[in-house]
Amino acid sequence: MTSSRKNPENSPDKAEPDRLGKAVVALAHLVERLRGPGGCPWDAKQTDSTIRMYLLEEAYEVLDAVEKNSPDEVCGELGDLLFQILFLAHLASERGEYTFTTVVERITEKMIHRHPHVFGQGSAKSAEDVALRWSKIKKAEKEALGKTPSPLDGVPANLPALLRAHRLTERISKAANAWPGGDEIWKRLQENWAELGDALSQQSEKLVGEHIGGILFLLADLARQWGFNGEDLLRNANREFQKHFECTERRLRNSGIDPEEASSDQILLAWKTTEREIK
């Protein structure tokens, strides 16, 4: 199958503004029809609270498709995500709060304002320059609104925990030049690991939980300082674990052993054999 990336009709320089505009308007009208009289009873019952969960699920499905490197799947999942965004904006428009048009206008205005090196007189020689300028512009925007800016403003509380740890330390490291570097983080990790060992020896559930949490946070920071994202690393590890386990199950079945009835020794032997083959 030919991917959309190889299709000249889908390249940016071939984009049709009229087609894009008509497509977005048609989708907006579709949402309006679903919510309107004679529309869909299920859609008519939806609220911000119910849609937010679908919004989150669709965002993760986009991420899965991106990780699979499947342009067709990404295209489809982006459409599902866009539908949820339009739907949420339509709910707001029903209450007279804002419209999808307002959403598009505001994000366009914001991106122009935060990219003066593209749309204004500023300049940026590297991605690091852009990130620094971005932080300064955000700080100035908050001060203009009479708010006392904090480096941690805008880091969503509902982000996956490892990703949030990444964002929190990323923000702080940009704001505080004295934020510990990789060597210091490694030293603190070793200290926390020793303390976790003591907590395990003491059978202290509270301390074990606290030290594991601290270790996970420090690992997320160490990963960030090495150019990784802890959330991505753990997703990859989860995927490899699932692949390894499924191979182990097949090995057991091929040996005439039901995985659910296998002994720990049988599972461990099959696991190690699979591990050697994978490597």
DSSP 129-188: HHHHHHHHHHHHHHHHTT----TTTT--TTS-HHHHHHHHHHHHHHH-TTS--HHHHHHH
Asked, for residue 128, whether it belongs to a domain, the answer is no
- Of 98, 113, 128, the domain-final residue: 113
- 135 vs 48, more confident: 48
Query: At 169, which CATH number?
Result: 1.10.287
Asked, for residue 134, whether it belongs to a domain, the answer is no
**Residue that is written with structure tokens 């499947």 in the block:** 70
* Residue 218 and residue 245 in one domain: no
Asked, for residue 223, whether it belongs to a domain, the answer is yes
Q: What is the DSSP letter of 262?
A: -
What is the pLDDT at residue 79? 96
Determine the Cα–Cα distance for residues 67 and 160; give it in Å rounded to an integer: 17
Determine the Cα–Cα distance for residues 92 and 31; give it in Å rounded to an integer: 13
- Of 81, 113, 145, the domain-final residue: 113
What is the pLDDT at residue 152? 79
Asked, for residue 248, whether it belongs to a domain, the answer is yes
Using the predicted structure, report yes or no on whether residue 15 has a pLDDT greater than 70.
no
* Residue 52 and residue 37 in one domain: yes
Residues 6+ away with beta carbon under 8 Å from 11: none
Whole-prediction pTM: 0.65
* Residue 217 and residue 245 in one domain: no
* Residue 195 and residue 271 in one domain: no
Query: At 21, which CATH number?
Result: 1.10.287.1080
* Residue 103 and residue 183 in one domain: no
* Residue 27 and residue 92 in one domain: yes
Taking each helix axis from N to C end, the angle separating 71-94 and 17-35, rounded to the nearest 10 degrees, works out to 60
* 133, 124 Cβ separation under 8 angstroms: yes
Domain count, the chain: 3
* Residue 29 and residue 109 in one domain: yes
Q: In which domain, by residue range, is 267 found?
A: 233-278
Asked, for residue 184, whether it belongs to a domain, the answer is yes
Percentage of the chain lying above the pLDDT 70 cut = 93
Using the predicted structure, report yes or no on whether residue 249 has a pLDDT greater than 90.
yes
According to DSSP H, which parts of the chain are helical? 17-35, 41-45, 48-67, 71-94, 100-113, 116-119, 127-144, 161-175, 182-202, 205-225, 230-254, 264-278
Asked, for residue 140, whether it belongs to a domain, the answer is no
Asked, for residue 137, whether it belongs to a domain, the answer is no
16-24 mean pLDDT: 87
* Residue 108 and residue 82 in one domain: yes
Residues 6+ away with beta carbon under 8 Å from 135: 174, 175
* Residue 55 and residue 97 in one domain: yes
* Residue 34 and residue 109 in one domain: yes
What is the pLDDT at residue 279? 65
* Residue 30 and residue 95 in one domain: yes
Using the predicted structure, report yes or no on whether residue 9 has a pLDDT greater than 60.
no
Q: What is the mean pLDDT of the chain?
A: 87
Q: Tell me the per-residue pLDDT of 60-106, one tens digit each, with 9 for 90 and over.
A: 899 889 988 899 999 999 999 999 999 999 999 999 999 999 999 99
Percentage of the chain lying above the pLDDT 90 cut = 54
Using the predicted structure, report yes or no on whether residue 176 has a pLDDT greater than 70.
no
Residue 2 — pLDDT band, cuts 50, 70, 90? very low
What is the pLDDT at residue 29? 95
* Residue 33 and residue 101 in one domain: yes
Determine the Cα–Cα distance for residues 60 and 111; give it in Å rounded to an integer: 24
217-235 mean pLDDT: 92
What is the pLDDT at residue 204? 94
Asked, for residue 202, whether it belongs to a domain, the answer is yes
Task: State how far Cα 59 lies from the chain centre.
Answer: 8
Q: Looking at this protein, which amino acid is placed at residue 99?
A: T
